[in-house]
Structure 1
Amino acid sequence: MKQFAAWCQTVGRRVMPAASQTVTAYLSHLKRTPRKRTGRPYGPATMDRIIASIRSSHRAAGYEPPDTMGARKVVAGYREELSLAKDPAAVSKKAAPADRTVLREALAHLDRTTLVGKRDAALMLLGHAIASRGSELAPLDWPASFTDLPEGGFSVRVYRKKRKKWQDVEVVPDPDADLCTVTAVRDLAEALAHEGHTSGPLFMRIDQWGYMGAEMTRNGEPAGDPSGRISINGASDIVSRSIHRTGMPGKWTSHSLRRGFVKSARDAKVDIVDIGRHGGWDDRSKALIGYIDEEDSRGERNPLAKISRAGSEEQDDTE
């Protein structure tokens, strides 16, 4: 919004409430203007986020958001141009799915005897278990967000930001000790209690010397949650750092845990409806359908693979 406001000032246009033509002109400007850092214009995915930012900023300021149909047409045309030119910028860089296989490898590289190792393991396993975004993991409190279940697991009260509703997600013990979310979370809570932290944020900032909730500054000013809670970006950094240690290629963020849950569930042949309701997706969610389509197009669920196997078996019977 700061960049949009600065551009509006240079061309003599109103920032708020912005006219639809102003937003369209701004996106056209971005499409043809290389950035100093990269020498290239923003990609279509970033432009989509810029449009969303302009609209949400208007709402926050009490204004009716501008009509952005023209701006979106500019982005759509730009995306098509890049696609025809086979430019990688035309393809959105989705987070890679961190399923159980990926998590097992990443956890093997953690020292789970340390407070940092316990935190990172609990964050990744819990994020996968409740199919959460980083924005849903960071706010969790211990023990307030958790309720013990009779069978030994717990229920996590998580706020699904996209749907603007609370959900209680049950997490049960895993027979695989290395991948047991219940054990990892309780180990972390015990370690935090040993440090005198018995209630409040479950996932705390921990500095390189092992101090919890260390004060953060930016340009000499205090930064970060004063309670010591990690930020959403901090949650993504933990996932990215942990999985990159394995050498596995891919874009790894906290959203990898949410996508990884879908992959793990489909590998276990879990029904799509059950996957969606556990992860807080709407029954008509296009995002979930997209994840499912990607997983179902691979391996044993690929129709061509099944047809090929059936044809091979048929040939064997004939012979």
Structure 2
Amino acid sequence: MGRAVEKRSGIPATASFGSVVPRSSEAAVPPARQQLSQAALAAMAKGVPAATARGYRGDWARFEEWALAAGLCPLPATGETLTEYVTWCTLTPRPRTGRPYKPSSIDRAMAAVAVAHQAAGLPQPSQTGARLVLRGYEAELKTTKDPRGKVRKATAATPRVLRQMIAATDTGTLIGARDAAALTNGFALAARSSEAALLDWEDAAEADDDQGLLYDLYRPKVTNDQPLGVPYGSYASTCPVRTLRTYRQALLDHGHKPTGPMFVRIDRHGRINPPMFRDGRRIGDPSGRMTAEGIADIVTRAAARAGLAVRPDRLFPEGTPRWTGHALRRGYAEATRHAKKDPLEAARHGGWADGSRAFAGYHDRAAAFDEELNPLYGIGL
């Protein structure tokens, strides 16, 4: 793999963001560089979102395995080693898919290597060569129209789509009432699945003069906390205020006091917080709180019930829809663009930073035939 075997050095696995750095490293960090305490490293790890940390751990493990097999040092790695690894990623089929990595996956792998070095207090390897390889790979995928060259986004669950989802949901059942409340309130708050999972009943309060609900929503990626107003909707079926009240009353009718987690596990028999076991031991939050994955599954199942899961049509010209928990967040962004809401206020309500490129990216379809944004309108064509 190009270079001679490099001397292995580094720090133990515990000195990293959620154990991004493995235990294979043996030699000590150079004496001139101070090694962070375990308390400082643990505090740093809290600043990395759990999902990101999990991804980085997997990415680092793959990079380390490749480097050691190639006789190269993973920590500290050189720019040449990183360039060789990125090249390998663009050429080697993955066992699960039979195709090389997508550009976005490679980009995250490079970030994981950088984070591991940062956590170890070591200089990050140069990314110049690796970036050139990745840029050429992206250009090749686009030229050949390979689907891996496109970033797959969740399909937008706009209000029109929400009405289809809820129309196919039996809201007369406890689980149906919960799903309707999760769909409508997730949309109204533009909440990530992880944010919706953290909601407690105490986070929602009735606004003065019965104007709707005031939410105190925790957004890990946003520093400014402010109450979010959720007014009544125009349609009873998709009104977040009414669906949440219906869900709350359904819980009371089943003898469950609405305190603590707002969205709780419910099985098809209507049992709240049913016991779950894996390998003979009980799993799941004892309070019944749903996970982020569970919240996302609500969207996926609702789309399947409504026949939207595998039906490409004029609503979804990009092909087979992709219904994930992010569908509600993207649907909110597109709906606010269609309604010509102030993009700055719409972004702030949804927890995007001012000038967010991610928020602007969600407007791609909504802006395609906007007379104010499409330059072909009104030019005499």
Query: Normalised by the shorter chain, which TM-score bucket?
Result: 0.7 to 0.9
- Summarize deviations over 1:115-138 as a string: whole Å, max 9, x none: 111111111111110111112111
Judged with a 3 Å threshold, the aligned counterparts in structure 2 of structure 1 residues 62 and 167 are, in CA distance, closer, same or farther, namely farther
Name the counterpart of 1:44.
103
Name the counterpart of 1:242.
302
Higher strand share: 1
CA deviation after TM superposition for structure 1 residue 225, in Å? 2.9
Name the counterpart of 1:66.
124
Structure 2 counterparts to residues 145-156 of structure 1, below 5 A: 145-152=203-210, 153-156=212-215
Name the counterpart of 1:94.
153
Aligned counterparts of 2:144 and 2:364: Cα–Cα separation in 1: 26
Aligned counterparts of 1:210 and 1:110: Cα–Cα separation in 2: 15
Could you tell which deviates more after superposition, 206-215 or 123-132? Answer: 206-215
Name the counterpart of 1:290.
361
Gaps in structure 1 of 5+ consecutive residues: 313-319
Is 1:200 the counterpart of 2:260 in the alignment?
A: yes
Number of matched pairs: 308
CA deviation after TM superposition for structure 1 residue 281, in Å? 1.6
Structure 2 counterparts to residues 134-213 of structure 1, below 5 A: 134-143=193-202, 145-152=203-210, 153-193=212-252, 194-213=254-273
**Match for 1:205: what amino acid?**
R
Gaps in structure 2 of 5+ consecutive residues: 1-59, 313-320
Higher helix share: 1
- Summarize deviations over 1:143-200 as a string: whole Å, max 9, x none: 2x11221132111112223334534211011232111101111222222333424311
Q: 1:135, 1:232 within 8 Å by CA — same for their partners in 2?
A: yes
Aligned counterparts of 1:68 and 1:211: Cα–Cα separation in 2: 55
Could you tell which deviates more after superposition, 230-239 or 21-30? Answer: 21-30
CA deviation after TM superposition for structure 1 residue 10, in Å? 2.0
- Summarize deviations over 1:79-132 as a string: whole Å, max 9, x none: 111111111111111111111000001110000011111111111111110111
CA deviation after TM superposition for structure 1 residue 201, in Å? 1.1
Is 1:252 the counterpart of 2:323 in the alignment?
A: yes
Q: 2:169, 2:305 within 8 Å by CA — same for their partners in 1?
A: no
Judged with a 3 Å threshold, the aligned counterparts in structure 2 of structure 1 residues 52 and 209 are, in CA distance, closer, same or farther, namely farther
**Match for 2:133: what amino acid?**
V
TM-score, length-normalised on structure 2?
A: 0.73
CA deviation after TM superposition for structure 1 residue 276, in Å? 1.4
Secondary structure of the structure 2 residue equivalent to 1:177: coil
Name the counterpart of 1:124.
183
Judged with a 3 Å threshold, the aligned counterparts in structure 2 of structure 1 residues 128 and 35 are, in CA distance, closer, same or farther, namely same
Q: Which has the larger radius of gyration?
A: 2
Is 1:267 the counterpart of 2:267 in the alignment?
A: no
Judged with a 3 Å threshold, the aligned counterparts in structure 2 of structure 1 residues 213 and 246 are, in CA distance, closer, same or farther, namely same
Aligned counterparts of 1:304 and 1:79: Cα–Cα separation in 2: 28
